[in-house]
Chain A
Amino acid sequence: MDKKRRSFLVGLAQAAAISTVGGTLAAGFIEENKDKPLTLRPPGALDEKDFMKTCIRCGLCVDACKTRENIYIVDGVKKTTLELAKPGDDAPLGTPFFIARTNPCYMCEDIPCMYACPTGALTPEKCQNDKGEVAIDYAKMGVAVIDPSSCIAYWGLQCTACYRACPELDKAITIEWRKNKRTGKHAYRIPIVHEDACTGCGMCEEACVTEKAAIQIFPREVVLGKAGDRYVKGWDAKDQQRVKNASTDTTTKTGRSKKSAIDNLNQGVNWQ
């Protein structure tokens, strides 16, 4: 092989090697940083995986949020919601997010952040009800979760701070009265979250009186389970529609299910 050709080929191999090394490092760094599952997104955000693909990190939603019409001023400070993630924030770099405890979403009726998005990472399609009507009340930014061990209403103290802060009053959070057997004459007034009406705005978390909020917003993908096709609300016509096309072949196959149930029971469990 002549020298020129050889040095060209070696150079090519070197460049490819550098690309592989650099690319692997970059991919590793990115894989670690692209999934921050507790990140709360603006209203109308696509599912997290698609959102991360589609968001170009321009910050137009943040601009729209900062300069919106219904600015809240608390103690002389303008309350804004959205931020673009900086290095050091617990959200994928450059993408919009908010922290419900300090800066919840104030649920502007005109949803300026969502309509500012040029890429479709925030889209009205993700902020509408079954009939296709778009409104901030149909946003699904997250869902409120109550920790009964630190919620003072569960202790029997009078609170309802979250209930009263909720913009979806009496829909997303309701108060359930229960008898307090400890005293025999008082009532528990327990807040109950209804995920179908909860927008995940975070007003309840902001309002919560405990030192660390007993009611917190989490992304819906993190918190909500899925009953699946095996279970249906037999008293609910709408829920029956859900399983209408479900497969009847729902047998779970595990190592044990190879044998008949009787065999498994008789065999017992071999611990060691």
Chain B
Amino acid sequence: MKYLILRRITQIAILLLYVGANVYGWKILEGNLSFSMLFNKIPLADPYAVLQMLFAGAAISMDMVIGTLIILFFYGIIGGRAYCSWVCPVNMVTDLAAYLRRKLNIDKDGKRYMISRKFRYWAFGTLLIVSFVTGVAAFEFFSPIGILTRGIVFGIGFGWAFILAIFLFDLFIVKNGWCGHMCPLGAMYSVIGSKSIIRVKHDAEACTNCGECKQVCPEKDVLNPVINKKSDFIHGIECTNCGRCIEVCNDNALKFSIRSFIKGEKDEKVINK
């Protein structure tokens, strides 16, 4: 439960800092997940929002450029969609839906609705085109991430209906539907973090193939090529580095590790033999 609790702490702490900035004027982390000011000096910008604004034809300020570069650099290193599981508040909603879905056995008894996990990449591109056509950042008009963060910091209005929709969608319709299939922001962070160095590493020697990790993983396609097959890093770019697989593994076959592209991969090949 270690990583789960840590994740909830970072997610809630970030929201609390935003609320503190809004209500008490704390100068630690101001704004919201679209754009923040860290310590009143360092800009942090959502690269997808900035990209949409570019497509919409906006002039991009220096703060935005620097903020985007900082985020790209940070997630490029830490990466592996850490944003999705350690920062984004929608993750708390969809994790709850996934938990209830397991407990209520929805998958066993319910109908199967399928969406391709590639949907999000198409959504990513399509919304850029829509931004270009409509002349405004398109995703920001219905992004549940924006609605929920702004909702918590600045007041939610009817936004709860959007969040409820996501919750019901994930609970009853598609498993891990929003975060695992549809969210274009997740698609972007998959690509940004594709070469990140912190990754989950699997030890096939210790694995008993109990399947607990695949049960709990929100992106089980990243586990399938590795688990019980070879000792390797989880290279799949959709891995969110949430650490749930590590926690549920009873065999100590999974752990966070540093992926090095210089000599690490060579060592891996030796182990595979």
Contact = CB atoms under 8 A, between A and B. Distances in A.
Contact of A54 (B46, B59, B119, B134): B59
Contact of B134 (A30, A59, A86, A94): A30
Interface in A153-191: none
Nearest to A16: B122
Contact of B30 (A49, A50, A60, A88): A60
A57 interface: yes
Nearest to B118: A15
A86 B159 contact: yes
Interface stretch (A18-26, A143-151, A249-257): A18-26
Interface in B141-160: 141-142, 146-147, 150-151, 153-159
Contacts of A92: 136, 141
A93 B30 contact: no
Interface in A76-90: 83-84, 86-89
Interface string A20-37: 001100110111011000
Nearest to B135: A53
B56 A59 contact: no
A132 to B, nearest CB: 20
B64 interface: yes
B106 interface: no
A243 to B, nearest CB: 31
Nearest to B134: A30
Contact of B157 (A19, A31, A56, A89): A89
A56 B127 contact: no
B31 A60 contact: yes
Given A27-B133, A30-B136, A30-B138, A87 B146 contact: no
B241 interface: no
Interface stretch (A61-69, A197-205, A230-238): A61-69
Contacts of A52: 135-136
A20 to B, nearest CB: 8
A26 B157 CA distance: 21
B158 to A, nearest CB: 4
Given A23-B127, A58-B32, A119-B63, A94 B140 contact: yes
Given A15-B122, A26-B130, A86-B159, A53 B57 contact: yes
A88 to B, nearest CB: 4
Interface in B32-48: 32, 34-37, 43, 45-46
B126 interface: yes
A23 B154 CA distance: 29
A49 B36 CA distance: 24
A83 B153 contact: no
A22 B121 CA distance: 13
A118 B61 contact: yes
A118 B141 contact: no
A120 B59 contact: yes
B183 to A, nearest CB: 13
B21 interface: yes
Contacts of B211: none
A57 B150 contact: yes
Nearest to B57: A53
B119 A18 contact: yes
A235 B53 CA distance: 46
19 contacts: A19-B123, A27-B134, A53-B57, A53-B136, A54-B53, A54-B58, A56-B49, A58-B31, A60-B30, A63-B22, A63-B25, A63-B30, A66-B25, A86-B151, A88-B157, A89-B157, A93-B146, A94-B140, A118-B45
Given A19-B122, A67-B21, 7 more contacts: A18-B122, A26-B142, A56-B35, A63-B25, A66-B25, A92-B136, A118-B67
Interface of B: 21-25, 30-32, 34-37, 43, 45-46, 49-50, 53, 56-61, 63-64, 67, 116, 118-119, 122-123, 125-127, 129-130, 133-138, 140-142, 146-147, 150-151, 153-159, 161-162
Give the 8 A-B residue pairs with the shortest CB-CB distance, closest first.
Answer: A86-B157, A67-B25, A58-B35, A88-B158, A53-B58, A118-B63, A58-B31, A87-B158
